[in-house]
Amino acid sequence: MSKHFVPENLPTHLQHYIGGQFVDSIGGETFEVLDPVTNQTYATAAAGQKADIDAAVNAATEAFKNGPWPTMSARARAKVLYKIADAVVAQEDRLAEMETFDTGLPITQARGQAQRAAENFRFFADLIVAQHDTALKVPGSQLNYVNRKPIGVAGLITPWNTPFMLESWKLAPSIASGCTVVLKPAEFTPLSASLWATIFKEAGLPDGVFNLVNGIGEEAGDALVKHPKVPLISFTGESSTGQLIFRNCAENLKGMSMELGGKSPAIVFADADFDAAIDSTLFGVFSLNGERCTAGSRILVERPIYEKFVETYAARAKNIKVGDPHDPTTQVGALVHPEHYNKVMGYVEIGKTEGRVVAGGGRPENLPEGQENGSYVAPTVFADVAPDARIFQEEIFGPVVAITPFDTDAEALELANNTKYGLAAYVWTNDLKRAHNFAQDVEAGMVWLNSHNVRDLRSPFGGVKASGLGHEGGYRSIDFYTDQQAVHITLGEVHTPKFGA
């Protein structure tokens, strides 16, 4: 497939969506959007400024204070959420083509995103209908119960890897809870976010509940974080940006939920199912082009199987098909943007001084015709990487992995915990006692034992250390977007000290 695929009816200009209307920036500002296969501009997008964020927040505030959404019954809101889910599934093919075109993700990996996004809306629809709140009674003395109330306007800032699906992670629980929202999607990948407006409108979501402002993080994102009428910020992205947002939220004491970077270890013990561990650790770092926060980008392997593991892993990595993201046989596509490509290639060069290159190490050969300038990186494997190496410590966010040997369980744990991050960890062993104890001791918000990253939507999602603040997923998401007000009623005689009597 040498001719570069372009989706039909591709928009050439992307607007904001505020108060139920598509609009340009008040000052007319725009930015260019690139296609990562050719690195050519294919569209412009309205670049939101403070004035545009003000307009969106005002629309969301009006919908929260005077609109029907926050006070509708859970069942009535759930009916709308189900219509949203059905509309997302109906758009699956279109969405996958747009997502692949905009992000460079392989089409087969983009296809599952619509189903997962739809499931988020169904899941939270079910959750709000089934939810019950605490009531505590002391017979004849006191009754206490909880009122759960949506907090207000939620500011949602989302990343450029699997953008549509990750937007659904925030949109579904915030809207289900009765909040109104302003979404600021990543500037590298605004295309699929433009689908939300029509999906929501046709599903019957009242105007002003969902607002979208495109723009650069330092402009639109910054204005949203600092806005005094936005009491909540949910952010997924890079850790240093998270620190900046944390500082800026302090002024107005905003609630924050942050899912940040990762440098997650995959620990493979000698007694592991070798073939399953190879399959999983390859998929864990090279799926989604390596652009995933939970990527198992450090593989720690027990010494007796280390050489065999490195040899097998490298041979498989060399065999991964890199190419046109729209080709169904492609396993690794183009990185999202030249800026990110340059960062990843910089780490590849650093790695050559810090480890032994056993696969990749540069651009792939035999790229499709017309895609020679695309942001392609060959799946790259470094072996014998020391724990103080930059490629061991720093998040690369691309198809690059570091493999390091260990001799004892204690050394494996020390290596696993030896970074500032703590998002995920993957443990491969058939020793049940070791698996559970290691999971308990590893510094990670999420651990997978003998499994790749498969997640139940009811379970908490989040990291420790520099990988995050707070948890989302299941009821924890609802907790973030709602206030829990305690109401106390006395059922018996009131015995109060009589001051001043």
Catalytic (active-site) positions:
259
Length reported for the chain: 501
**Whether the Cβ atoms of residue 389 and residue 406 lie closer than 8 Å to each other:** no
Residue position matching structure tokens 């997302």: 88
Closest listed residue to residue 400, CA positions, set 364, 359, 354: 359
**Dist. CA 43–CA 385, nearest whole Å:** 42
**Dist. CA 164–CA 14, nearest whole Å:** 15
Angle between helices 194-203 and 163-176 (to 10 degrees): 40
Angle between helices 303-318 and 274-286 (to 10 degrees): 50
Q: Phi and psi at residue 93, in whole multiples of 5°?
A: -65, -45
**Dist. CA 173–CA 167, nearest whole Å:** 11
Chain-centre distance for alpha carbon 69: 26
Q: Phi and psi at residue 313, in whole multiples of 5°?
A: -60, -45
**Dist. CA 365–CA 348, nearest whole Å:** 16
Pairing of strands 298-302, 265-268: parallel
Closest listed residue to residue 400, CA positions, set 238, 263, 239: 263
Q: How would DSSP label each residue in 125-165?
A: HHHHHH----EEEETTTEEEEEEEEE-SEEEEE--SSSHHH
Q: Is the dihedral of CA 36, 38, 41, 43 positive or negative?
A: negative
Q: How far is CA 117 from CA 112, 120, 167, 305, 440, in A?
A: 9, 5, 8, 39, 31
Task: Please name the amino acid found at residue 41.
Answer: T
Alpha carbon dihedral 373, 378, 379, 380, in 10-degree steps, equals -120
First to last CA, the chain: 91
Q: Tally the C-alpha atoms within 13 A of residue 356's C-alpha that lie toward its C-beta.
A: 10
